[in-house]
A and B are shown apart, each in its own frame.
Chain A
Amino acid sequence: EIVLTQSPGTLSLSPGESATLSCRASQSVSSSYLTWYQQKPGQAPRLLIYGASSRATDIPDRFSGSGSGTDFTLTISRLEPEDFAVYYCQQFGDSLTFGGGTKVEIK
């Protein structure tokens, strides 16, 4: 089973700053099979980025994904108040697993 390790666990930032979230896989994952989700308090997760770097429908361009192999990154430039949430990566190249999540909180 591929284990996804997300870091940091919590990121404390101010609106307008940029956020860099990491997702590291225990084995290589094809970029096609790496996904990011956003979850706000009390809500279901929402698809954010698929194929490591493609934004889902209606996702603003301040969200970007990158990476390959075992290291993937979600970048949020110019944090808006609505971006403070928990972000999960998911892989489905080998079975299907989620990372433990990174919470982006207001500093």
Chain B
Amino acid sequence: QIQLLQSGAEVKKPGASVKVSCKASAYTFTSYGINWVRQAPGQGLEWMGWISGYNGDTRYDQKFQDRVTLTADTSTTTAYMELRSLRSDDTAVYYCARGSASDYRSNFDPWGPGTLVTVSS
């Protein structure tokens, strides 16, 4: 069964960084990409960016371009999302979701269970 397993909840102070992992299993990691989507409490879905599992190409939403870095380790089939200079409004559940290997524009299936990141002083 295809699965994306995410790292556990984090509590960070404003100005800090957070790195969330997403381990893929039961499919060929290099044949797909990984997207990152966040959801603030009670809010909708917000796409952050994409990384190709095939060649490491990335694409970021303009809103996050200066603060987020996506990486992928094909040897461990794990993708990472690092968000820097955290603010209170970065408090959200962060999801990884499988997408296309060649283009950030695709359906997302499946999704990881999500990682709650809380930013609080």
Task: Mark A residues whose CB is within 8 Å of B.
Answer: 33, 35, 37, 43-47, 50, 56, 88, 90, 92-93, 95-101
Docked-complex contact B109 and A100, CB < 8 angstroms: no
B 81-121 to A, binary, CB cutoff 8 A, 1 in contact else 0: 00000000000000101000000111111111110000000
12 residue pairs bridging A and B, Cβ less than 8 Å apart = A35-B108, A44-B97, A44-B110, A45-B108, A50-B107, A88-B44, A88-B45, A90-B108, A97-B47, A98-B47, A99-B44, A101-B45
Q: In the complex, how many angstroms separate the beta carbon of A54 from the nearest chain B beta carbon?
A: 10
Task: Mark B residues whose CB is within 8 Å of A.
Answer: 37, 44-47, 61, 95, 97, 104-114
Given that A33-B105, A92-B106 are known contacts, is A45 also in contact with B44, CB under 8 Å in the complex? no
Docked-complex contact A96 and B105, CB < 8 angstroms: yes
Enumerate chain A residues within 8 angstroms of B114, measured Cβ to Cβ: 44
Docked-complex contact B109 and A98, CB < 8 angstroms: no
In the bound complex, CA of A95 to CA of B103 (Å): 10
Enumerate chain A residues within 8 angstroms of B112, measured Cβ to Cβ: 44
Docked-complex contact A98 and B44, CB < 8 angstroms: yes
Q: In the complex, how many angstroms separate the beta carbon of A83 from the nearest chain B beta carbon?
A: 18
Enumerate chain A residues within 8 angstroms of B104, measured Cβ to Cβ: 92, 96
Given that A92-B105, A95-B105, A96-B104 are known contacts, is A46 also in contact with B111, CB under 8 Å in the complex? yes
In the bound complex, CA of A47 to CA of B95 (Å): 14
- Given A33-B105, A50-B107, A96-B61, 19 other A-B contacts at CB below 8 A? A37-B108, A43-B113, A44-B95, A44-B114, A45-B108, A45-B111, A46-B111, A47-B109, A47-B110, A90-B107, A92-B106, A93-B105, A96-B47, A96-B105, A97-B47, A98-B37, A98-B46, A98-B47, A100-B44
